[in-house]
Amino acid sequence: MEDYLRVIFEIIEDKGYARVKDIAKKLDVSLPTVTEMLKKLSEMGFVSYEKYGGVTLTPKGREIAKAIKVRHDTFAKFLEIILVPREIAEKDAHELEHRLSPKTIEQFTKFVDFITQNQPRPEFIRRWLELFKSYSKK
């Protein structure tokens, strides 16, 4: 369910609208699978969906989808910080977001924020990143 909400959110952010085929393509699932999940998400009040029409997130669905995306992006960014290639980081972020406890997720978020949002970046962080990059090349 979370994957669907995140993907719908991303597609709408990118294109302005989402369709069943867009969702199916991004999740690599069949059209009937997407349709079935959209019915469930609609019943739960997360999306508005009409057969052969577009898909929109309800305010409740958008709020949840945005939180899911932030969590996913946090893990992807962490993996990129430790020099995991972007394509792999995206895939692995998906695995992490479903397997870790809320407290662990919170600490990952704090760490990524600390590393990326301190402006100007403290010298020790800049130096740490340089040293890690050098170490990783061994």
Strand-pairing partners, residue 18, are 55
User: Helices 20-27 and 2-15: crossing angle, nearest 10°?
Assistant: 120
Per-residue pLDDT band for 117 (boundaries 50, 70, 90) equals: confident
Question: Taking every pair of C-alpha atoms in the chain, what is the biggest distance, in angstroms?
Answer: 55
Whether residue 137 is predicted with pLDDT greater than 90 in this model: the reply is: no
Domain ranges of the chain: 2-57, 69-136
* Amino acid 92: pLDDT: 94
Whether residue 53 is predicted with pLDDT greater than 90 in this model: the reply is: no
Distance (Å, rounded) from C-alpha 120 to C-alpha 65?
A: 31
* Amino acid 122: pLDDT: 75
* Amino acid 116: pLDDT: 84
Coil/strand/helix, residue 56: strand
Determine contact, residues 5/64, Cβ cutoff 8 Å. Answer: yes
CATH code: domain 69-136 is: 1.10.60.10
- Tens-place pLDDT, residues 33-52: 999 999 999 999 999 998 87
Class in CATH terms, 2-57: mainly alpha
Whether residue 118 is predicted with pLDDT greater than 70 in this model: the reply is: no
* Amino acid 86: pLDDT: 94
Determine contact, residues 52/105, Cβ cutoff 8 Å. Answer: no
Q: Which residues contact 119 (CB under 8 A, 6 or more apart)?
A: none
- The position carrying tokens 């998906």 is 94
